[in-house]
Amino acid sequence: MMKAGKIKSLLCVGVVVAVLSGCSTTFVPQAKIQAENTKLDKILEKAADYAYAKGDKKESLALLERAYKRDSANPEKAVKYAKILRESGQAKQAAIILSPFIYDKNVSSDVLTEYAYIQTSMGNYNISEDIAMRALDIDENNYRARHALGIALDAKGNHKQAEKEFRKAMDIWEGDPMPLLNNLALCLASQGYLDDSVNLLRRAFEVAPDRVEIERNLRIITTLQDTTSRKYAPKPIKKPRKS
């Protein structure tokens, strides 16, 4: 028969083993946690891109906000979140999101470019110009930075220089060119090149007839073109009276 003291000792050992076993089953390696977090972040970003492509900016905004809050120190996530905020009419909030990164010594050209767009949307054209030029100092082939610089220059009345930047951006542009073509056309119209502006907008409208801003500007500048041509049309000379 087993003595009581020995039984007590075996029970204590069993408890210790059970506790250790429980700890070993709940321990998850940090690398695995990180991998799961990365996987979830990618899922959120893909879902946000899908929602954006469908035109559901509200859903895209909600998803990108979740991704940003999970890692607010990540500049790439901050840029995506700030961009959708700006496009949703929340430029001030977008500026707050990106402000902590702007003067970081390792700031990326993409962060600066989005910040330049944000400042333009708030009417701060001098700041936007400076920030866009900083972005181009880092990456001169950043076509979005050239676009942002062109918008700021055009808004300040420097139409000829803005046109140069728009055309430089056009040479290296990737993705949807309609915003660039629209702004270049408006820049040309501001310089009085109405025929060139209308031709450019017509070509853009043929490619993207569903773009409201293209259709609207084409209608406005065509009307302006017609009005101007009538204003300066040669007037017929009156026939002399018969004596």
> Residue 85: which CATH number?
1.25.40
| 193 and 156 share one domain | no
If one counts the domains in the chain, the total is 3
Instruction: Let me know if residue 129 belongs to a domain.
Output: yes
Instruction: Let me know if residue 136 belongs to a domain.
Output: yes
* pLDDT-derived band at 61, boundaries 50, 70, 90: confident
| 65 and 90 share one domain | yes
**Of 237 and 113, which is predicted with more confidence?**
113
* Domain containing residue 127: 108-174
The whole-angstrom separation of Cα 181 and Cα 196 is: 12
**Of 8 and 169, which is predicted with more confidence?**
169
Q: Which CA distances in Å does 116 have to 30, 40, 97, 127, 186?
A: 38, 30, 13, 7, 20
Instruction: Let me know if residue 238 belongs to a domain.
Output: no
Instruction: Let me know if residue 137 belongs to a domain.
Output: yes
Please answer whether residues 81 and 65 qualify as being in contact, where contact means their C-beta atoms are separated by less than 8 angstroms. Answer: yes
Please answer whether residues 215 and 205 qualify as being in contact, where contact means their C-beta atoms are separated by less than 8 angstroms. Answer: yes
The whole-angstrom separation of Cα 53 and Cα 59 is: 11
| 170 and 195 share one domain | no
Instruction: Let me know if residue 9 belongs to a domain.
Output: no
62-70 average pLDDT score: 90
**Of 29 and 143, which is predicted with more confidence?**
143
Read off the pTM: 0.76
Inform me whether the pLDDT recorded for 60 exceeds 80: yes
| 52 and 65 share one domain | yes
Q: What is the pLDDT of residues 141-162, one digit of tens each?
A: 999 999 999 999 999 999 999 9
* pLDDT-derived band at 16, boundaries 50, 70, 90: very low
Q: What is the pLDDT of residue 82?
A: 96
Q: What is the pLDDT of residue 137?
A: 97
Please answer whether residues 172 and 142 qualify as being in contact, where contact means their C-beta atoms are separated by less than 8 angstroms. Answer: no
Instruction: Let me know if residue 28 belongs to a domain.
Output: no
Q: What is the pLDDT of residue 30?
A: 64
| Final residue belonging to a domain, choices 174, 189, 206 | 174
Instruction: Let me know if residue 219 belongs to a domain.
Output: yes
**Of 166 and 56, which is predicted with more confidence?**
166
Joined together, the tokens standing for residue 8 give: 């007590």
Q: What is the pLDDT of residues 93-147, one digit of tens each?
A: 999 999 999 999 999 999 999 999 999 999 999 999 999 999 999 999 999 999 9
Instruction: Let me know if residue 141 belongs to a domain.
Output: yes
